[in-house]
A and B are shown apart, each in its own frame.
Chain A
């Protein structure tokens, strides 16, 4: 037990509690969804790294833990040779770290595998039941109810129901399709799975709780932004409205939340006051600066035995 514990502890506190709390309340997040998504992803990796280092620093001797801290600040990965010549205590520390990391990793992989199985089953039926429309570059499914969705990943494709084709004008349909293609191109399903698995492994952590609900919505907004490069605001907003209103049992699933309303407002009123990017960068910098005292403390007292 030594003062090098402070760094991962501080990092865990910052990425797991403080920054998520700030970003979940920030207004800039929804104006620059991609920056916000970057912050969430960084928090996730930072927290995972911190929680892996914490037990390692607990069992390592003071000199060793200082070397580990040094390595971390220099972002130097240990060489294979170093990894092969660890002594007993170091090996124990490494095993502990890997053990801690394995929980979220396993949850993530399991979730991806389950989603992929479901998608390939869905795609298998779709292949025989749907028909591909080369003009739309999408698979059309014969059903009255309007729906637009995509299968990301290996069996990627965009699917529209014939109900949606009838309900939307060509411009609106193109807007909805552009939104779905943005999901596929951005590999958004990976981030959704990561957020879901974090929320499953650390149910009470603010990072997982806020991130689990914020990330899917931010991904929708990022896809909206990308779609808007190719369509008008009116077309995208109207498509959103038309598809949302065509849904049958609404009140039963109120849990779907205000996401559609938020997105619509954002699409229709694009520019609000302030400098969202500036606020975002400021939040991140402030969080980074908060780590500085810990790091300095850690570097200035090497052998505190």
Chain B
């Protein structure tokens, strides 16, 4: 439970620093979180230190306090996750299960035709095409539907 709460606090701290887009002291962060719920200064200080050691935050001394700042923007981390999610790198083990893999243009045209056919947008010939099409030879299709 304790670990879980610390994890949530990590996210709360990062959220604020990303939103503010400027370096901030632990005091500022604590004050902001305290508008919603009580949190101890020392807890936030500890977690900010953890984030610093994990490489999420960099810091510099300003007077007697540390000023914390995200090392990278939220978008950069998101882009990294999306690279995993979209399967752009091929030589990975199957760590994630994706809803749909990357597909070719021919298959895209076949998908399009099948979907239209099922909805009755097209003539019966297209319906038969979509159902009887040989997956091994998608090149035989005309791309005119797309």
Q: Would you call B124 an interface residue if the criterion is a C-beta within 8 Å of the partner chain's C-beta atoms?
A: no
Q: Would you call B1 an interface residue if the criterion is a C-beta within 8 Å of the partner chain's C-beta atoms?
A: no
Smallest CB–CB gap between A182 and chain B, Å?
10
Q: Is the CB of A147 within 8 A of B85?
A: yes
Q: Max chain A CB contacts within 10 Å: which of B85, B115, B138?
A: B85
Smallest CB–CB gap between B9 and chain A, Å?
11
B81: contacting residue among A141, A183, A237, CB under 8 A: A141
A245: contacting residue among B85, B108, B133, CB under 8 A: B108
Q: Would you call B60 an interface residue if the criterion is a C-beta within 8 Å of the partner chain's C-beta atoms?
A: no
Q: Is the CB of A192 within 8 A of B81?
A: no
Interface residues of B in 69-125 (CB under 8 A from A): 74-75, 77-82, 84-87, 90, 92-105, 107-108, 110-112, 114-115, 117-119
Known: A250-B108, A256-B104, A261-B111. A161 touches B85 (CB 8 A): yes
Smallest CB–CB gap between B31 and chain A, Å?
21
Q: Would you call B131 an interface residue if the criterion is a C-beta within 8 Å of the partner chain's C-beta atoms?
A: yes
Q: How far is it, in angstroms, between the C-alpha of A72 and the C-alpha of B81 when the chains are bound?
A: 48
Q: Would you call B10 an interface residue if the criterion is a C-beta within 8 Å of the partner chain's C-beta atoms?
A: yes
Instruction: List A contacts of B86 (CB < 8 A).
Output: 145, 147, 247-248
Q: Mark A187-228, 1 if CB is under 8 A from B, else 0.
A: 011001100100000000000000000001001000000000
Q: Would you call A114 an interface residue if the criterion is a C-beta within 8 Å of the partner chain's C-beta atoms?
A: yes
Among the stretches A45-53, A63-71, A263-271, the one at the interface with B is: A263-271
Q: How far is it, in angstroms, between the C-alpha of A265 and the C-alpha of B82 when the chains are bound?
A: 28
Smallest CB–CB gap between A267 and chain B, Å?
9
Q: Is the CB of A258 within 8 A of B81?
A: no
Instruction: List B contacts of A244 (CB < 8 A).
Output: 100, 103, 107-108, 111
Q: Is the CB of B99 within 8 A of A148?
A: yes
A192: contacting residue among B78, B97, B104, B105, CB under 8 A: B97
Q: Mark B119-146, 1 if CB is under 8 A from A, else 0.
A: 1000000000011010110100000000
Instruction: List B contacts of A129 (CB < 8 A).
Output: 14, 74, 77-78, 81
Instruction: List A contacts of B87 (CB < 8 A).
Output: 253, 256
Q: How far is it, in angstroms, between the C-alpha of A255 and the C-alpha of B74 when the chains are bound?
A: 32
Q: Mark B5-32, 1 if CB is under 8 A from A, else 0.
A: 0010011001000000000000000000
Q: Would you call B56 an interface residue if the criterion is a C-beta within 8 Å of the partner chain's C-beta atoms?
A: yes
Smallest CB–CB gap between A207 and chain B, Å?
18
Q: Would you call A82 an interface residue if the criterion is a C-beta within 8 Å of the partner chain's C-beta atoms?
A: no
B93: contacting residue among A115, A130, A239, A261, CB under 8 A: A115
Known: A159-B85, A261-B138. A193 touches B105 (CB 8 A): no
Smallest CB–CB gap between A55 and chain B, Å?
29
A250: contacting residue among B14, B90, B93, B105, CB under 8 A: B105
Q: How far is it, in angstroms, between the C-alpha of A3 and the C-alpha of B38 when the chains are bound?
A: 78
Q: Is the CB of B81 within 8 A of A125?
A: yes
Among the stretches A6-14, A149-157, A275-283, A285-293, the one at the interface with B is: A149-157
Q: Is the CB of A250 within 8 A of B82?
A: no
Smallest CB–CB gap between B126 and chain A, Å?
13
Closest residue of chain B to A126 (Cβ to Cβ) is: B81
Known: A122-B84, A128-B11. A264 touches B114 (CB 8 A): yes
Q: How far is it, in angstroms, between the C-alpha of A286 and the C-alpha of B82 when the chains are bound?
A: 47
Closest residue of chain B to A244 (Cβ to Cβ) is: B100
Q: Is the CB of B98 within 8 A of A149?
A: yes
Q: Mark A236-260, 1 if CB is under 8 A from B, else 0.
A: 0111110111011111011111111
Instruction: List B contacts of A239 (CB < 8 A).
Output: 99
Interface residues of A (CB under 8 A from B): 111, 114-116, 118-119, 122, 125-130, 141-143, 145, 147-152, 159, 161, 176, 179-180, 183, 188-189, 192-193, 196, 216, 219, 233-234, 237-241, 243-245, 247-251, 253-262, 264-265, 268-269
Could you name 20 residue pairs across A and B whose Cβ atoms are closer than 8 Å?
A128-B56, A128-B77, A141-B81, A145-B86, A147-B85, A148-B98, A149-B96, A159-B81, A180-B97, A189-B97, A234-B119, A241-B111, A250-B103, A255-B90, A258-B138, A260-B111, A261-B107, A265-B114, A269-B118, A269-B131
